[in-house]
């Protein structure tokens, strides 16, 4: 499960960076206001690194870099640094990519197959601190064949492998010969992408300029600034003042711009979920009866209506209910009476104030959410309110991820994650016991042998029917033995100035703002006539 974006999750999984003081975002980043050829947007999350060797941009849309492949508006794979989709051997274990000719890195050096080989070999090196290395577990070898061909050999057929090759390609010339984990490449990257980094004031902004030598053509948005503003209200205020040209906002704030001249509101469908971790290290949340009761006590429908303003849907697991991979019949109803019955039968008896206890242990635990995240705060408070009706007392706390992370073993967290690309991307890192509490992976330390086995089956075959069966097993087990209470899937909402054409959205993962959002294809935008 990704609770934070950047090197921790790459992805992650999950992840948000540390809470930055609102004052850090109070200066005007680049003037804003939709000046000719400029764009300034407000995002909530900041990466820990800009190196793909440590996980930056692993899901695509990194702006500084390109992958072998990319996603189009409909999330279909398209060629990027490759000239076409890969040739796949009959046994599903060899992928061959032919590379685009004449591509150069932003420092003028030529791109070749050696850069691809270098990137993947470095990511796979155990000495590289890339938390998403396990996503390339299937790779046995990567070999440059001359300048224009790369061959991947897999240990086993892995149906999702092509999706993994949106991974940005680093420059071997610029990145080699330095400490991959702490070298200058992490903050001064060299890539083949449509933009070049011109500055990074941590906690405040990232600044980019158009790459005039970009193989896809120089972007019309010549200056692009991402202002790091973790607080939702501050982003909305700065957008309203004209300091920003666009921003990601929670639905209740986005709707306040509905009738504002010169502004457009966009909602992107996503696989992004919000869920409460139920750590096995806590005496209360390790009890399966408590976890099952919470699964029924929570009113997901009310959260969608009141917190998301309808911009989302109920979540029963990381796989959205409208996904072809969703296991029908695993939906959970809101049934407070049934939740109370489960607790009664398990020996959790109501005591003073209606709060239950068993063998001297009071039914209580702490739930953390990252400070400044309004949506997570509202989810956490609603969840605690629902739980109290069942007799479980939850104390809601907020803090930075540096405060939260050491407490994850015993305290619950209002976490998030989600990827639309393939079920393996979410389910394995969220649920497999081998990655429990490895960074932000499997934050609940969930351990279910049947789930582990099904996850391995789903990962080690490219037979779709076998994968459907495996992931159906995972979802049914998760419904019967929940390690998390899944709450909602969120539509990401954005407000933008109406200055450009070509603005659209993709189906987005949990990671939003930096690589995703309406600016996922900013290099293709054209000025409004």
Number of structural domains the chain divides into: 3
Q: Give the CA diameter of the chain.
A: 74
Q: Are residues 34 and 99 in the same domain?
A: no
Can you read off the two tokens belonging to residue 442?
Answer: 């499997």
Q: What is the domain-level CATH number for residue 221?
A: 3.40.190.10
Does 117 share its domain with 31? no
pLDDT of amino acid 317:
95
What sign does the CA torsion over 312, 510, 412, 233 have? negative
Cα pseudo-dihedral 393, 397, 401, 407, rounded to 10: -40
pLDDT of residue 45: 83
- Residue 429 falls inside a structural domain: yes
59 token code pair:
């899901």
pLDDT at position 513, please? 60
Q: 211 and 162, same structural domain?
A: no
Determine the Cα–Cα distance for residues 410 and 264; give it in Å rounded to an integer.
43
Domain boundary among 121, 151, 185: 185
Range of the domain at 241: 7-45+202-261+509-529
Q: Is residue 422 part of a domain?
A: yes
For residue 510, how many C-alpha atoms fall within 13 Å in the half-sphere facing its CB?
28
Buried b (16+ CB within 10 A) or exposed e, 445-482: bbbbeebbebbebbbbbbeeeebeebbbbbbbbbbeeb
- Let me know the angle formed at the C-alpha of 512 by 509 and 518, rounded to the nearest 5 degrees: 105
Over the range 360-374, which residues count as b (16 or more CB within 10 Å of their CB) and which as e?
A: eebbbbebbbbbbbb
Same domain? For 57 and 109 the reply is: yes
Are residues 470 and 338 located together in one domain of the fold? yes
For 504, the token pair is: 């659209």
Kindly state whether residues 412 and 522 are assigned to the same domain.
no
315 and 439 housed in the same domain? yes
Whole-angstrom distance, CA of residue 363 vs CA of residue 340: 13
Q: What is the pTM of this model?
A: 0.84
Residue 194 lies in a domain: no
Per-residue pLDDT of the chain (529 residues; tens, 9 = 90+): 433 333 333 333 333 333 333 333 344 444 454 456 999 999 988 888 999 999 999 888 889 999 999 999 989 999 999 999 999 999 999 999 999 999 999 999 999 999 999 999 999 999 999 988 888 999 999 999 999 999 999 999 999 999 999 999 999 999 999 999 999 999 999 999 999 999 999 999 999 999 999 999 999 999 999 999 989 999 999 999 999 999 999 888 999 998 899 999 999 998 999 999 999 999 999 999 999 999 999 999 999 999 999 999 999 999 999 999 999 999 999 999 999 999 999 999 999 899 999 999 999 999 999 998 889 999 999 999 999 999 999 999 999 999 999 999 999 999 999 988 899 988 999 999 999 998 889 999 999 999 999 999 999 988 999 999 999 999 999 999 999 999 999 999 999 999 999 999 988 888 766 778 999 999 999 998 7
Beta strands per DSSP E along 36-128: 38-43, 69-71, 77-79, 87-88, 94-98
Q: pLDDT at position 6, please? A: 34
The answer to whether residue 179 sits within a structural domain is yes
Tell me whether residue 1 is in a domain: no
Q: What is the 3-state secondary structure (H, E, C) of 404-453?
A: HHHHCCCCEEEEEECCCCCHHHHHHHHHCHHHCCCCCCCCCCCCCHHHHH
In a shared domain, residues 431 and 296: yes
Question: Are 77 and 167 contained in the same domain?
Answer: yes
Q: Is residue 413 located within the same domain as residue 478? A: yes
State the pLDDT at residue 60: 87
Whether residues 527 and 466 fall in one domain:
no
Tokens of 514: 């930096």
Q: Is residue 239 part of a domain?
A: yes
Q: Are residues 527 and 396 in the same domain?
A: no
Element (H, E) at 201: strand 195-201
Helix (H) or strand (E) holding 295: helix 288-297
């Amino acid at each position: 499960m990704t609770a934070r974006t950047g090197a921790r999750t790459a992805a992650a999984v999950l992840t948000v960076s540390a809470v930055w003081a609102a004052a850090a975002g109070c200066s005007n980043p680049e003037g804003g206001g939709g000046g000719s050829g400029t764009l300034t947007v407000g995002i909530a999350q900041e990466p820990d690194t800009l190196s793909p060797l440590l996980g930056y941009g692993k899901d695509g849309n990194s702006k500084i870099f390109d992958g072998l492949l990319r996603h189009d508006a409909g999330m279909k794979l398209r060629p990027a640094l490759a000239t076409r989709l890969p040739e796949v051997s009959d046994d599903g274990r060899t992928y061959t990519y032919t590379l685009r000719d004449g591509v150069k890195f932003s420092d003028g050096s030529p791109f070749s197959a050696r850069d691809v080989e270098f990137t993947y070999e470095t990511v796979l090196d155990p000495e590289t601190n890339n938390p998403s290395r396990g996503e390339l577990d299937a790779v046995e070898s990567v070999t440059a064949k001359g300048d224009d061909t790369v061959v991947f050999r897999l240990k086993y057929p892995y149906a999702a492998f092509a999706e993994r090759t949106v991974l940005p390609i680093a420059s071997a010339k610029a990145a080699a010969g330095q400490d991959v984990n702490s070298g200058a490449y992490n903050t001064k990257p060299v890539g083949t992408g449509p933009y070049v980094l011109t500055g990074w004031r941590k906690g405040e902004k990232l600044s980019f300029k158009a790459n005039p030598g970009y193989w896809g053509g120089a972007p019309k948005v010549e200056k692009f600034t991402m202002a790091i503003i973790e607080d939702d209200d501050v982003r909305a205020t700065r957008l309203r003042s004209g300091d920003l040209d666009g921003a990601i906002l929670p639905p209740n704030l986005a709707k306040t711009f509905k009738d504002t001249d010169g502004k457009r509101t966009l909602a992107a469908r996503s696989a992004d979920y919000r869920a409460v971790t139920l750590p096995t290290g806590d005496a209360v949340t390790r009890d399966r009866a408590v976890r099952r009761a919470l699964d029924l006590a929570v009113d997901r429908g009310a959260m969608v209506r009141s917190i998301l303003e309808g911009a989302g849907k109920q979540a029963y697991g990381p796989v959205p209910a409208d996904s072809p991979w969703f296991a029908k019949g695993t939906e959970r109803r809101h049934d407070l009476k049934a939740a109370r019955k489960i607790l009664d039968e398990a020996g959790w008896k109501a005591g003073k104030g209606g709060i239950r206890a068993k063998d001297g242990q009071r039914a209580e635990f702490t739930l953390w959410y990252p400070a400044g995240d309004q949506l997570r705060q509202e989810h956490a408070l609603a969840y605690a309110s629902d739980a109290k009706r069942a007799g479980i007392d939850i104390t809601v706390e907020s803090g930075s991820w540096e405060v939260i992370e050491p407490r994850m073993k015993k305290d619950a967290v209002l976490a998030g994650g989600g990827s639309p690309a393939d079920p393996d991307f979410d389910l394995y890192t969220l649920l497999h016991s081998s990655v429990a509490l490895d960074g932000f992976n499997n934050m609940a330390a969930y351990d279910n042998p049947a789930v582990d086995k099904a996850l391995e089956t789903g990962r080690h075959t490219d037979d779709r029917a076998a994968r459907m069966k495996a992931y159906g097993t995972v979802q049914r087990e998760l419904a019967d033995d929940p390690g998390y209470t899944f709450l909602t899937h969120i539509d990401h909402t954005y407000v933008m100035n109406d200055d450009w054409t070509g603005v659209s959205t993709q189906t987005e993962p949990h990671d939003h703002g930096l690589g995703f959002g309406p600016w996922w294809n900013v290099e293709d935008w054209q000025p409004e006539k």
